[in-house]
Structure 1
């Protein structure tokens, strides 16, 4: 059946989110590009519109229910009902447990889990009305445990349970829900990790690549390619899955 070709990507100002937004635009979706400020979305929107695609940049804090409602309404008003949602927004506040503050914990769990919950709750209204939808949640190999990331690991593992439950609830409405768990991807976030560890980023990437079976680190485009498939027609019998994109087996 025909359905609107409108997608929303959170955390889309840079890195994986930006690559995903651009790939979906290339696939023919009009894209709502969401990040904390509208200004931060400008580069992604420009990259899309310069290639003849359609996009709108929206500043919204995904942990704020009113901001989420307003953002989704704006996308729907501009392009039509959004049927694809990519919950990519995420932050890190890394520290060992004994140094981790309540603020570090709450901020990370808030953006990942509360953000994905609020966005999904808002967008599913449009998906169920259309009788078709795709939700893709970004998890991480850190869900399996990673030193200094008790908050991030808990959030990313939470994304997997959230994904499986939504797949069960929304399947009868023609909506699939899957999670992607990236391994080492070359982004500003991994560069910041290297800086925090006081390691040169090139050395950091080389060391990571040496431990990865395919002998390279991942690129945002590697994630965008899988989102493209999961957001399309041919993935309709895949739901509730966590797919590790890490250059080798992880789970």
Structure 2
């Protein structure tokens, strides 16, 4: 296996390249340091570039995208160029870990609802919005019963939140709902809180972000139970949740 990986590295395989010693940051001069690998069931974590393309040609396509996004009714061209530059964009994200503001300047086309859905599909091979909403519809009643039965301080907190939510039924959504990452508003006018959450979930995959510590179980539920991404490996809490939901 080591020989196989060595040969792949010599051929320029991107997943091998990002973990080679010469691509590690200063102070991480060990092969085991800061290993970059799929952690959320990504099928295409660092994909190969399209046949016949190089880093230089894909960078030219990226620059062309900056002009195309300024044109009206140009979704088809943008979609094709985003598809073609997927490997280039993905390697940049995984290898360089750019700041969100800098990445938005380089890849503004990604920060559209349609492209977040497309990027999620490229990474996981699963549709984001359609599957998320369908699964949520299927499981909401069971989930609500479980939450209503929660006890202790956490259970009371859940009941308080649900009581507030019930009082707000029929109230219109806020005028503007968006997503903020690293203090930067990356998307707005998303229509509803649930759509903003779905987009945030998609952006976590698209930008290879870690789940926030205080919401890790929420996102694990979304990933492994709702979306069935790596659904066979669950934390103890999610195992208990799944048993309750599907008992």
Q: Of the two structures, which has the highest relative contact order with CA contacts closer than 8 Å and spacing of 6 or more?
A: 1
TM-score bin (small chain): under 0.3
Higher share of residues assigned helix? 2
Larger radius of gyration: 2
Report the TM-score when normalising by structure 2.
0.27
